[in-house]
């Protein structure tokens, strides 16, 4: 497919997206930006979350990982289902009872303002890094297949992508994102299903032949019984549950749209609908990966050194123009669905947790709108700079592994603090919590690096997140606990 044709497809897609964004955000006020006026239809929120959760990382990286991990990713997805049940049963009732705009207000009400800012700070770092990693993958594809041949440098491609996101999210916030995410999730799912159809046609298989041939091959192996491996079933299941809790339930980016539903029952129905649909779409993406491997094998196409490149290489170079168009539109939808809402959630977190917009009565609605727009633009700049810095690191990993590895480190302190707040009556002194969280991350990094030498060949997987949370909780209770007389435990009053 010619670069100009790819660019034309992306241009047409964004014309439709910007039109929808203008229509839904034309009357958005501050409440519409932060909470969608708490009137979002729960069905549309649930379906829109599909693209936000799966993202361009799943669209590109998960199919390529089938070459090494087969269908082992489903073990993690089964853990996600457990985590979503915890979110619906434990976290959402708390968030709705307290009528939170930023979920880190929970830490402020449970402990103190510094604890709230600490939780928000870890979220800001986590989301900037994770969203940059997701966006980097798609930007790299467009850079390789379109702009590189025209001599356009990577930083211009990255800047253009961030600018497009900024244009359609700056005004409407959540009120716009509920509808644009639904639009983009539809294109993501359509891209996956039509790509499967194109591969079946190229392989001359029908649905029954696909099931029979894939079931007989090694690609569809799901369960890993090696306890030392990062892919061991019980590690993946427990880690998947923990990752779902932190990356959805303790993440302002994902919870902000869920909390825009009218009531707690509607928010729960949103989650119960989202869970099975997410599993089915993930399974379809894994099937897509298996078909890509079979197609490469039958055509003698060598597998790329970076498995993230398998899908774009075959879709854009071997399946014809219709399949290439489907791939480009699906990739565009998957990537921008997950990246666009991050600017809104980061802005909300700063405005509520650090600037205290929910408590201040000295600011007019016009002043609040002006400040949040400035913060929104600043975070667009931060995302752009992070994209440019990420090139060296991302070249070493499949991006799905990079995103989840970053989550194991940066979300661990959040999981530890929320667990203490929900499951205990302990009181914490917030000014020491940033140091506790940073110490837990540093210790986990050392253990991760030395695990095979210190623990008889054992390698940490995503269970590192649980260890990180445990170290944060123990550290907080040890050095930041407030005794019943009001002094800080372990130090002079």
**CATH number for 300:** 1.20.1730.10
Q: Are residues 319 and 450 in the same domain?
A: no
Q: Are residues 175 and 261 in the same domain?
A: yes
The C-alpha atoms of residue 204 and residue 200 are separated, in whole angstroms, by 6
How many domains are contained in the chain? Answer: 2
The C-alpha atoms of residue 201 and residue 203 are separated, in whole angstroms, by 5
pLDDT along the chain (493 residues), means of 10: 73 78 64 64 76 70 79 87 93 91 91 92 86 79 79 87 80 68 79 87 87 80 72 81 87 83 90 90 89 87 78 81 80 71 82 81 79 88 86 57 72 91 89 92 85 73 82 90 61 40
Question: Does residue 418 lie within any of the structural domains?
Answer: no
Q: How many angstroms separate the Cα of 199 from the Cα of each of 22, 190, 292, 293?
A: 37, 14, 7, 10
Q: Are residues 223 and 344 in the same domain?
A: yes
Q: Are residues 403 and 439 in the same domain?
A: no
Question: Does residue 417 lie within any of the structural domains?
Answer: no
Name the pTM for this structure: 0.79
Domain boundary among the residues 410, 441, 475 is at: 410
The C-alpha atoms of residue 57 and residue 65 are separated, in whole angstroms, by 11
Q: Are residues 378 and 430 in the same domain?
A: no
User: Any idea how long the chain is?
Assistant: 493
The C-alpha atoms of residue 468 and residue 324 are separated, in whole angstroms, by 42
Show the CA angle centred on residue 393, arms to residues 389 and 398, nearest 5°.
130
3-class secondary structure, 121 = helix
Q: Are 173 and 387 within 8 A, CB to CB?
A: no
Q: Are residues 141 and 200 in the same domain?
A: yes
Closest alpha carbon to 332 in 165, 171, 166, 178: 165
pLDDT value, residue 85: 93
* Tokens matching residue 123: 């979220």
Q: Facing residues of 428 across strands? A: 481
3-class secondary structure, 65 = helix
pLDDT value, residue 395: 53
pLDDT value, residue 107: 93
Q: Are residues 482 and 360 in the same domain?
A: no
Q: Facing residues of 481 across strands? A: 428
Q: Are residues 168 and 253 in the same domain?
A: yes
Q: Are residues 241 and 107 in the same domain?
A: yes
Location of structure tokens 């928000």: 120
Residue 474: give the domain boundaries. Answer: 424-493
pLDDT value, residue 393: 59
pLDDT value, residue 491: 47
Question: Does residue 416 lie within any of the structural domains?
Answer: no
Location of structure tokens 């597998």: 303
């Amino acid at each position: 497919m010619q670069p100009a044709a790819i660019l034309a497809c992306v241009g047409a897609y964004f014309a439709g997206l910007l039109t929808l964004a203008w229509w839904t955000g034309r009357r958005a006020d501050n409440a519409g930006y932060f909470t969608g006026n708490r009137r979002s239809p729960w069905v549309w929120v649930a379906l829109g979350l599909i693209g936000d959760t799966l993202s361009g990382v799943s669209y590109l990286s998960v199919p390529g990982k089938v070459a090494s991990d087969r269908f082992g990713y489903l073990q993690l997805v089964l853990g996600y289902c457990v985590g979503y049940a915890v979110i619906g049963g434990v976290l959402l009732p708390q968030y709705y009872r307290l009528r939170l705009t930023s979920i880190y207000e929970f830490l402020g009400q449970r402990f103190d303002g510094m604890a709230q800012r600490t939780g928000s700070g870890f979220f800001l770092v986590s989301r900037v890094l994770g969203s940059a990693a997701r966006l980097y993958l798609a930007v790299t594809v467009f850079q390789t297949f379109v702009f590189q041949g025209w001599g356009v440098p990577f930083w211009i491609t990255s800047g253009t992508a961030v600018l497009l996101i900024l244009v359609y999210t700056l005004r409407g916030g959540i009120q716009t994102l509920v509808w644009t995410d639904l639009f983009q999730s539809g294109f993501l799912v359509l891209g996956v299903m039509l790509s499967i159809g194109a591969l079946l046609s190229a392989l001359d298989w029908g649905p029954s032949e696909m099931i029979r041939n894939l079931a007989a091959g090694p690609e569809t192996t799901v369960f890993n019984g090696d306890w030392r491996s990062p892919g061991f079933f019980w590690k993946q299941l427990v880690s998947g549950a923990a990752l779902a809790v932190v990356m959805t339930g303790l993440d302002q980016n994902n919870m902000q749209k869920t909390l825009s539903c009218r009531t707690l029952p509607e928010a729960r129905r949103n989650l119960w609908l989202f869970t099975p649909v997410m599993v089915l779409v993930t399974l379809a993406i894994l099937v897509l990966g298996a078909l890509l491997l079979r197609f490469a094998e039958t055509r003698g196409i060598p597998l790329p050194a970076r498995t993230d490149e398998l899908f774009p290489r075959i879709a854009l170079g071997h399946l014809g123009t219709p399949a290439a168009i489907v791939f480009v539109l699906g990739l565009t939808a998957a990537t921008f669905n997950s990246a666009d809402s991050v600017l809104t959630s980061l802005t909300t977190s700063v405005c509520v947790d650090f600037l205290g917009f929910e408590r201040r009565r000295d600011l007019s609605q016009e002043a609040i709108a002006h400040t949040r727009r400035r913060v929104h633009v600043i975070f667009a700049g931060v995302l752009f700079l992070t994209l440019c810095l990420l090139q060296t690191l991302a070249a070493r990993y499949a991006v799905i592994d990079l995103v989840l590895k970053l989550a194991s480190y940066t979300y661990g302190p959040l999981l530890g603090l929320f667990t203490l707040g929900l499951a205990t009556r302990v009181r914490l002194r917030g000014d020491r919590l940033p140091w506790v969280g940073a110490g837990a991350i540093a210790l986990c990094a050392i253990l991760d690096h030395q695990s095979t030498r210190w623990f008889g060949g054992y390698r940490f997987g995503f269970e590192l997140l649980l260890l990180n949370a445990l170290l944060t909780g123990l550290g907080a209770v040890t050095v930041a606990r407030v005794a019943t007389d009001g002094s800080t435990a372990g130090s002079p009053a």
